[in-house]
Amino acid sequence: MTVERFSQLFDHSIVRPNAVRADVIEAAETAARLGTASLTVQPHYLSLGLDILRGSGVLLGTVVGFPHGNETPAMKAFQAQAVIDAGAEEIDMVMNIPALKNGEEDLFMHDIEGVVASARGAKVKVILENVYLTEDEKVRACCWIARAGAAFVKTSTAYAEGGATLADVRLMAGAVQGTTCQVKAAGGVRSIEQVLAFLQAGARRFGSTRTAAFVEAYRGLSPAAQAAFAPYLSPASIQLSETNDITG
Single out the catalytic residue among 92, 111, 125, 168. Answer: 92
Q: Respond yes or no: is residue 23 known to be catalytic.
A: no
Q: CA-based diameter of the chain, in Å?
A: 51
> Which residue in 191, 188, 202, 208 sits closest to 232, CA to CA?
202
Single out the catalytic residue among 76, 123, 138, 154. Answer: 154
> Which residue in 160, 196, 206, 143 sits closest to 68, CA to CA?
160
Q: Respond yes or no: is residue 184 known to be catalytic.
A: yes
Spatial distance between the Cα atoms of 48 and 29, rounded to a whole number of angstroms = 11
Single out the catalytic residue among 76, 123, 125, 184. Answer: 184
> Which residue in 37, 74, 71 sits closest to 57, CA to CA?
37
For residue 63, CA distances in Å to 79, 80, 84, 102 come to 9, 9, 11, 24
For residue 190, CA distances in Å to 44, 112, 158, 166, 208 come to 28, 30, 13, 13, 9
Q: Respond yes or no: is residue 123 known to be catalytic.
A: no
Please say whether the beta carbons of 31 and 58 come within 8 A: yes
Active site positions, annotated: 92, 154, 184
